[in-house]
Structure 1
Amino acid sequence: MLHGFAMLLVFQLVGEFLSRVLYLPIPGPVIGMLLLFATLVAMGGVPKGLRLAGEGLLAYLALLFVPAGVGLMAHMHLIGQDWLAILVGLLVSTVLTLAATGWVLQRLQRRRHHDG
């Protein structure tokens, strides 16, 4: 499990390094996650230590939302000032996410139908 946590931290560190050195507009943890995904695909699976670390983090996932909730409460006046922009952003991003997910699902189903 310790090896899994170390692996997660190394990929986050590499992503952060690349983001800062290359002046990318993508956050370092996102780059690290993409690199981790590519590595796992190349490996053909998830190592046991990484799986255990991931399951351990997922067990406490709800606690990770506490800081975000506190931030919302602490800055409610700012949210009140920009509520329309926030609402439009949420609605547009939700619709785009649903459309992209539906499109990917259709593509995968077609591929599965043709391969099967």
Structure 2
Amino acid sequence: MIGFAILAFFQLVGWLIQRLTGLPLPANVIGLLLFIAALFLKWVPLHKVEETASFLLKYMSLFFVPVIVGSLAFFPYLREHWFVITGSGVISLLLPLLVTGWLVQSRIQARNNRQQKENAHVHRS
């Protein structure tokens, strides 16, 4: 029970920080970051929250049931616009992948060019 109280405390602190400061982060993310920091700083012993965290992770799929059931209300819309939804999903997957690959390749090429210039300069001297 103490583990759940610790987790709830960090959730509450995250909520308070978000409300008081207006940070553009969700309160649960702020609370989670604070909780992780407290674990690393040994302010919260892992053994106090380990059992509760394992229990919550074991049954985490139950937290998604309302979302899945709620999405069934949109099934006619999804059926009607499946092509646009699928297309935007594919584009949002491929576009960042291609841009990232292009950026990495350009950085590798720039590094290789810089090394070749440095090597050529060293050999001339």
Q: TM-score scaled by structure 2?
A: 0.61
The one-character-per-residue Cα deviations of 1:22-65 (angstroms, maximum 9, x if unpaired) are 11110000000000000000008743220010011112112112
- 1:86 deviates by 5.6
1:32 and 2:31 aligned = yes
Distance in structure 2 (CA, Å) of the matches to 1:89 and 1:3: 46
Distance in structure 2 (CA, Å) of the matches to 1:31 and 1:89: 31
- 5+ residue gaps in structure 2? 102-125
**Counterpart for residue 10 of structure 2:** 11
One-letter identity of the residue aligned with 2:22: Y
**Counterpart for residue 56 of structure 1:** 55
Alignment coverage as a number of residue pairs = 95
Could you say if the C-alpha distance between residues 91 and 77 of structure 1 is closer, same or farther in structure 2, counting changes exceeding 3 Å?
farther
Say which structure, 1 or 2, has more relative contact order (CA 8 Å, 6+ apart). 1
Q: Which has more radius of gyration?
A: 2
Q: Is the 8 A contact 2:18 2:27 kept in 1?
A: yes
1:83 and 2:82 aligned = no
**Aligned-pair Cα RMSD in Å:** 3.0
Could you say if the C-alpha distance between residues 34 and 85 of structure 1 is closer, same or farther in structure 2, counting changes exceeding 3 Å?
farther
Distance in structure 1 (CA, Å) of the matches to 2:91 and 2:69: 21
One-letter identity of the residue aligned with 1:32: G
Distance in structure 2 (CA, Å) of the matches to 1:89 and 1:24: 31
The one-character-per-residue Cα deviations of 1:57-95 (angstroms, maximum 9, x if unpaired) are 112112112112112212335656572686268527x85
Q: TM-score scaled by structure 1?
A: 0.65
Q: Is the 8 A contact 2:38 2:44 kept in 1?
A: no
Distance in structure 2 (CA, Å) of the matches to 1:83 and 1:63: 26
- 5+ residue gaps in structure 1? 100-116
